[in-house]
């Protein structure tokens, strides 16, 4: 298979679409790295479900204050204007539509925008958690994920097979091979890795890819 983007490179690409001043929630795992790559001249306000708004970068190793963590139990820093609040108030922000963007990981995404990012079984995530609220509270929901599973099966499908996190909620996917929008119940290819043949990308996708506009090259820095 064609060389794919690293999680860091996917995070960089996702960060380029975040507007200045946007209120953003980043899912646990790969999406947390998006905060490292705010474009020059833009500053997002990051929200975490456990009750912090406007936190700063991760602290240097060895300087962590473990009373200051995000929802993924990663250490964060505070900066002027950082706010702390009750867990219930945090979810009131989510459910009240006060977040501009949520960027989440995924096991599966369907062409109609359905999202499955939790599972059952011995290796599953034990509960859907706050993602269920985020996908219907945030104004825009994007997904950051490998294009295929570890055994090479498509993660972008005609219909999800795992328990759903949300219905018709995803509008853009930043994968390790492409940037794909979900419009009108179908996958619309916007960018793909240079040199990656369309037919190969289609073979790694479990639903039809549409190309109504010229497809741009997915160019990212070496990170």
What confidence tens digit (pLDDT) does each residue in 3-19 have? 899 999 999 999 999 99
Which residues are CB-contacts of 25 (< 8 A; sequence separation ≥ 6)? 46, 47, 48, 49, 94, 99, 101, 102, 103, 134, 138
The answer regarding whether domain 7-31+88-217 maps to CATH 3.30.70.920 reads: no
The domain ranges of the chain are 7-31+88-217
Which is catalytic among the residues 32, 43, 49, 183?
49
- Cβ–Cβ < 8 Å for 58, 80: no
In whole angstroms, what is the distance from residue 37 CA to residue 193 CA?
Answer: 20
157 forms beta bridges with 110, 206
Determine the straight-line distance between the first and last CA of the chain, rounded to whole angstroms.
21
Is pTM, for the whole model, over 0.85?
yes
pLDDT in tens, 44-78: 999 999 999 999 888 999 999 999 999 888 899 99
* pLDDT values of the chain reduced to their tens digit, one per residue, 223 residues: 568 999 999 999 999 999 999 999 998 888 999 998 989 999 999 999 999 999 988 899 999 999 999 988 889 999 899 999 999 999 999 999 999 999 999 999 999 999 998 776 666 556 667 888 999 999 999 999 999 999 999 999 999 999 899 999 999 999 999 999 999 999 999 999 998 999 999 999 999 999 988 999 999 999 8
Known catalytic residue at 49: yes
DSSP character at residue 166: B
Nearest to 214 by CA among 177, 189, 181: 189
């Amino acid at each position: 298979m064609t060389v794919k983007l690293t999680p860091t490179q996917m995070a960089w690409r996702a960060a380029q679409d975040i507007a200045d001043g946007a209120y953003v929630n980043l899912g646990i795992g790969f999406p947390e790295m998006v905060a490292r790559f705010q474009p020059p001249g833009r500053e997002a306000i990051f929200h975490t479900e456990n009750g912090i708004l406007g936190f700063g970068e991760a602290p240097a190793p060895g300087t962590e204050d473990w009373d200051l963590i995000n929802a993924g139990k990663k250490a964060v820093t505070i900066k002027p204007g950082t706010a702390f609040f009750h867990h219930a108030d945090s979810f009131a922000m989510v459910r009240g539509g006060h977040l501009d963007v949520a960027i989440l990981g995924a096991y599966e995404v369907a062409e109609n925008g359905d999202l499955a990012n939790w599972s059952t079984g011995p290796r599953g995530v034990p509960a859907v958690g706050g993602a269920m609220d985020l996908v219907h509270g945030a104004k825009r929901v994007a997904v950051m994920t490998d294009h295929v599973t570890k055994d090479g099966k498509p993660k972008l499908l005609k219909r999800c097979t795992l328990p759903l996190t949300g219905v018709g909620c995803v509008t853009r996917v930043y994968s390790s091979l492409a940037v794909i929008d979900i419009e009108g119940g179908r996958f619309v290819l916007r960018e793909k890795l240079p040199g990656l043949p369309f037919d190969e990308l289609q073979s790694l996708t479990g639903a039809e890819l549409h190309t109504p506009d010229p497809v741009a090259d997915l160019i990212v820095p070496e990170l």
